[in-house]
Amino acid sequence: MDEVGGRAGISEPLAQPACDAAALEARAIHIAQEVAAECRRSYWYPLPGLLRVPLPNFGWRRRALLRHDLHHLLTGYPHTPLGEMEMAAWEFAAGRFEHAGATAFCLPLVGLGAALSPRRTRAAFVRGRRSTSLYANPLPDREAVSRILEWRRQVAMPAGLPASRAEGSAYRRLVALSFAWMLAPPALLVLAAWAAAR
């Protein structure tokens, strides 16, 4: 069995969410097949073509992957570095995958998105606040895929809506938390070096 692989669904990034019902169902089935193959691998590459560092295929990642990729399908955010930053902002707003490892891995993506593409990342967060993620749904994966048309109404809220004050404030708090998470390890190292030099 192949021990390493690329990201499920990366071969066909979407510019817009699938609108045609038959195309949406066919794409969801295809994604489920790709995810099943991806979940059997021991390692994965987070940024194929950009960063060739294999990461362990943690159990939390395998459990979250299908719904995460269905979120990409329903929202239209592509499987690109920027698309993953948008997806992280959307998922934190719509309902993140409840696992500390997933949070630690995805939280920096929000800050990176805020730094590299602030408008798109903020818009994804606002859209997520008005959507519902699939993570809380207890359905088995097979049934989740079969109900994709029903979920499209819950997940893929329209983009481009103006943010309320509460949404803007929640976004700023999330970005601040993201930067704090990214800066904590270097800050602790500097503090330790300073303390050791005294």
The domain segmentation of the chain, as residue ranges, is: 21-197
pLDDT at 49: 65
Of residues 9 and 39, more confidently modeled: 39
Separation CA 57–CA 79 (nearest Å): 18
* Average pLDDT over the chain, rounded to an integer: 83
pLDDT at 194: 80
To the nearest 10 degrees (0 to 180), the angle between helices 165-197 and 100-116 is 100
Please determine, for residue 18, whether its predicted confidence score (pLDDT) is greater than 70.
no
pLDDT at 148: 83
What does the CA dihedral 88, 93, 98, 102 come to, rounded to 10 degrees?
Answer: 20
Separation CA 90–CA 84 (nearest Å): 10
Of 68-82, 86-100, 128-142, 155-169, the range with the lowest mean pLDDT is 155-169
pLDDT at 10: 37
| pLDDT tier, 85 (very low <50, low <70, confident <90, very high otherwise) | very high
| Selection from 28-37, 152-161, 171-180, 189-198 with the highest mean pLDDT | 171-180
Q: 0.95 exceeded by the pTM?
A: no
Contact of 48 with 7, CB cutoff 8 Å: yes
Residue range 133-150: mean pLDDT, rounded:
80
| pLDDT tier, 156 (very low <50, low <70, confident <90, very high otherwise) | low
CA 57 to chain CA centroid, nearest Å: 15
